[in-house]
Amino acid sequence: MDMKAKSAGLEGLNFDNSYARLPERWYQRREPMPLKGAHLASFNPQVAAMLGLDPCELDPRELVPFLNGDQPIPGADPLAMKYTGHQFGFYNPDLGDGRGLLLGEVVNPAGERLDIHLKGAGRTAFSRFGDGRAVLRSSIREYLAGEAMAGLGIPTTRALCLIASEQFTQRNGMEPCALLARVTPCHIRFGHFEYFYYTRQYDELKVLADYSIERYYPDCAKADNPYLALYLEVQERTAELVALWQCYGFVHGVLNTDNMSILGETFDYGPYTFLDQYIPDFVSNKNDHESRYAFEKQPEIVLWNLSAFAQALVPLVPQQELEQALTTFMGRYRYYEQKRMRARLGLQQEESGDAELIAGLKKLAAEQRLDMTRFFYRLSELGDGDDAGLTDLMALSPEPSALADWVEAYRQRLAREVASAPIRQAQMKAVNPRYILRNYMAEEVIRAAHAGDYRPLNDLLPLLRDPGSIHPNLDHYAQQPPDWAGAICLTCSS
């Protein structure tokens, strides 16, 4: 294949399956189990282009028999990975790809290596008591979340397409099954390292670390201790990731170590939520009875997960060096959080009082239960001396007078900025979306899809990919969520 040319279909992709060349006891080779009546629900041309497929030449419906397992994909080598991890704080040795298959690794025309992973492909050796299937409801939620995160500039997995079917399985009653073709450079989790550590396979642990360095962090090979350098790179990316979550009100819901990517991407979407109101102790997962994964706890939980990852590296790195590295995490998290919050506030320069200004806004937002997406967007529209815009902004609070002192302090701070109001507004709108993926939006799409109508799903995607622009036909999503939105219940099956 000419690597400069884009392929018309999966048959022409350039596969080079490096993970499949690792020891076979690390995984189970397994072909997908086809779904009955599989059909295309949605196709993602942006991800297709990333892989080297030409969206203009490809008929997306031709993807279905290959991804459903009816026809083999030339060059693919499907396998289910073995890993373990801590779930809700407790180590589980029995984890692995119970409903997923790594189909293979594609090297695109730019020389980038991308995994294609099929979620919902049937039982594997790691399914335990599960049937290996994914339902349409949860598959739609993950598909939407990947596009929403990409639109916000938050590192994330994405999907090439979503395949629906006429096959049903038992979840919340009988639900239709689906397949999600997930695409990302990396499917290695903290839990992969934990597996080799807790089974005392330290030689295998070193092989995994060497593989991770060679594939994802080649510069670490030059360090005095490449494995410590690997840990530091993972920690840095993860600190920035969780900071972005906090800045945009994203609640992951199931921050287990097997859901943490070593690439610092948002991974394995389940009962996630983007906050409609700023509620620091909000819990998105109704199965999380002890509120372990509440919104405000995410930075410390991510630190806990990083400590579990560090523990797994002890055979390769002196423990005191890993412990010292962990002490720097919260500082790095706060650095990235302040950086993005200053950008959202239109503050290009850094001043010593900025942290206090940001903390004051968060305090008010919690007290007033502000819709921060709408608040920041209106703030980005606020011009100098714009009394009408200020009135609109204050109207978002149930007690507008409570915001008065903060707004005055904010305007005084803006007065010390060099940029003019139009430039500041443009910069703010680049990081302050008009729309966010709210649970009720996903629920509307899911209800339509269950009725066989995938148009609302596909109509929503352009809005998520470009959330800062006005989408006239969907602009009702910029308004306050409907009352029924608060009654949506999410669990681990979501």
Give tens-digit pLDDT for 359-374.
999 999 999 999 999 9
Is 315 in contact with 322 (CB distance < 8 Å)? no
| Residue span of the structural domain in which 234 resides | 191-337
Assess whether 294 and 246 both reside in one domain.
yes
Query: Is residue 158 domain-shared with residue 259, that is, in the same domain?
Result: no
For residues 491 and 463, give the distance between their C-alpha atoms in angstroms, rounded to a whole number.
26
Residues 162 and 233 in one domain: no
- Of 97, 258, 276, 371, the active-site residue reads 258
Same domain, 280 and 327: yes
What is the tens place of the pLDDT at every residue in 69-112?
999 999 999 999 999 999 999 999 999 999 999 999 999 999 99
- Judged against a pLDDT cut of 90, whether residue 9 lies above it is answered with no
Residue finishing a domain among 337, 370, 385: 337
pLDDT at residue number 23: 97
Residues 407-422, mean pLDDT to the nearest whole number:
93
Name the nearest CA neighbour of 305 among 342, 275, 339, 267. Answer: 267
CA–CA distance, 62 with 66 (Å, rounded to integer):
8
Q: How confident is the model at residue 3 (pLDDT cuts 50, 70, 90)?
A: very low
Residue after which a domain boundary falls, among 337, 358, 389: 337
Residue 115 lies in a domain: yes
The model's confidence at residue 387, banded by pLDDT at 50, 70 and 90, is: confident
pLDDT mean over 435-452:
98
**Of 305, 337, 369, the domain-final residue:** 337
Pair (104, 238) in one structural domain = no
Q: Are residues 164 and 69 in the same domain?
A: yes
Active site residue 371: no
In-domain check, residue 130: yes
Q: 103 and 76, same structural domain? A: yes
* Residue 433 belongs to a domain: no
Both structure tokens of 17: 């399956």
Return d(Cα 207, Cα 453) in angstroms, integer.
47
Query: Residue 167's pLDDT band (boundaries 50, 70, 90)?
Result: very high
211 and 172 in one domain? Answer: no
Q: Given pLDDT bands bounded at 50, 70 and 90, which one contains residue 146?
A: very high
Residues 24 and 150 in one domain: yes
Q: What is the mean pLDDT of residues 154-174?
A: 97
In a domain, 399, yes or no: no
Asked if residue 178 and residue 264 are part of one domain, the reply reads no
**Residue-averaged pLDDT of the chain:** 96
Q: What is the mean pLDDT of residues 315-331?
A: 98
Give the rounded percent of residues in the chain with a pLDDT score beyond 90: 94
Residue 59 has pLDDT above 80, yes or no: yes
The answer on 178 and 117 residing in a single domain is yes
Shared domain for 197 and 91, answered yes or no, is no
pLDDT band at 1 (very low <50, low <70, confident <90, very high): very low
Number of domains present in the structure of the chain: 2
- For residue 359, being part of any structural domain is answered with no
pLDDT (0 to 100) of residue 5: 55
Please report whether residue 381 resides in a domain. no
Question: Rounded mean pLDDT of 282-290?
Answer: 96
How much of the chain, in percent, has pLDDT values that exceed 70? Answer: 99
- Residue from 399, 474, 81, 436 nearest 274 by CA: 436
Residue 384 within any structural domain of the chain: no
pLDDT digits (tens, 9 = 90+) for 448-469: 999 999 999 999 999 999 999 9
Q: Is 462 among the domain residues? A: no
